[in-house]
Amino acid sequence: MSQQINLNPREIRKVVVAGFVGTAIEWYDFFLYGAAAALVFNEIFFPSLDAFAGQLASFATFAVGFFARPVGGMVFGHYGDRIGRKSMLVISLALMGVATFLIGLLPTYNQIGIWAPVFLVALRFIQGFGVGGEWGGAVLLAAEHAEPGRRGFYASFIQMGAPAGQLLASGVFAAFAALPREQFLAWGWRVPFLLGIFLLAVGMVIRLRILESPLFSRVAAAGPPPKIPLFEVLAKYPKNVVLAMGARMAENVSFYLFTVFILSYAKTMKLFDSQVVLNAMLVASVSQMIGIPFFGALSDKLGRRPVYLFGAAGMALFIFPFFTMVQTANPLALTLALCIGLGVFHSAMYGPQAAFFSELFGTRVRYSGASLGYQLASPLAGGIAPMIATSLLQSSAGSPSPVAWYLIAMVAITLLAVYFCRETSKEELG
């Protein structure tokens, strides 16, 4: 028997807006680090290394957050399935906000030596741990409140928090990156991190007002929660965990190539000033905020699999033209390339993803299952993508072709995974 509970549209909108705002704030914190890792941290925290090694070290600290995400996903998923979604979202937001603020206060390598990058890595781990618990709880609240025919659309608004956070982070960072280089390195880079504490306060107020998932409340009232949700996921849904991981590969790798690697690529190849790339990313983030709900809604009509497969296949076909457009050194071509890559093909995967992954698991263990599939892919995909791409670029004497083939290989994995998934768009959550 279905356990879907339909609330009135006003209640659903309240939950969706609260989820979107909170997620945007968390991703602001996470993406801010990516921009700083590409443009600043190699000079601030690894000044003793040469340019290439320093950039790799900086991207390595960026990757730490991704290796922390599965840990956060398992811990928050465990308690989210046993205690509830809402409380976990409040805790994850607090962890992210405090860690981001403390990064803005960190002494540099020239002040405290090796302890500077050590503390940086520790705070990055906390960021990753927090965001690892964020995604599962936020998308489940939206998906579990929505009716089946609108679930892709409503859940996609949580996904839209990612480009909103990217837009905010890129805009704030671009404003301070416009300072004279000496001032930016001395204090300007810190301000966007310190401003995160004000966003934290806003997010906490909003998150504390949201409702608990009605599906979770019904399941909790029907009997005791699973003792160890992770074990139940691995016993009942091992195939779905693996398929969710595979579905993420093209989406996650492409996103961090287009939002993090592109910054260092443009700088290394002397194609664009960093400010130009950040401005292009601002426009691309807006295109994503349009594309994600569009493709989320389209997946309600056509199905999750067709829309997702379109995005993955399109990404493989577009990656070589993408680099051709970037290499023109024309700001308009760069902006158009990022808008197509992020606003069309990435959005076609990311828009349906929240509902798609939620529908692969039962309510008793949905937080753990969706988080596990989503977050286990993070270190294998987006976390190491900038490092792999940087190394491939270095070994090919500046040719982006190996980077393009790397993404195409990830697309092949995603196409296979989504092909073997069942279509879930018309199913009710149980």
The vertex-144 CA angle with 164 and 16, nearest 5°, equals: 30
Nearest to 70 by CA among 289, 285, 233: 233
pLDDT at 7: 59
pLDDT at 25: 83
Written as six digits, the tokens of 394 are: 């270095």
DSSP letter assigned to residue 47: T
Written as six digits, the tokens of 329 are: 């050194």
pLDDT at 3: 45
CA–CA separation, 410 and 390 (whole Å):
16
**Domain 9-420, CATH among 1.10.600.10, 3.20.20.80, 1.20.1250.20, 3.40.50.300:** 1.20.1250.20
Residue type, 256: Y
CA–CA separation, 402 and 387 (whole Å):
13
Q: Return the SS3 of 312.
A: helix
pLDDT at 136: 82
Nearest to 204 by CA among 84, 82, 98, 124: 98
pLDDT at 1: 37
The answer to whether the beta carbons of residues 305 and 418 sit under 8 Å apart is: yes
Q: What DSSP assignment string belongs to 53-103?
A: HHHHHHHHHHHHHHHHHHHHHHHHHHHHHHT-HHHHHHHHHHHHHHHHHHH
Query: Which segments of the chain have a pLDDT < 50?
Result: 1-4
Written as six digits, the tokens of 355 are: 């509902």
Phi, psi (rounded to 5 degrees) for 6: -100, 120
pLDDT at 8: 64
What is the SS3 string spanning 326-367? HCCCCHHHHHHHHHHHHHHHHHHHHHHHHHHHHCCCCHHHHH
DSSP letter assigned to residue 427: P
Residue type, 402: P
pLDDT at 4: 46
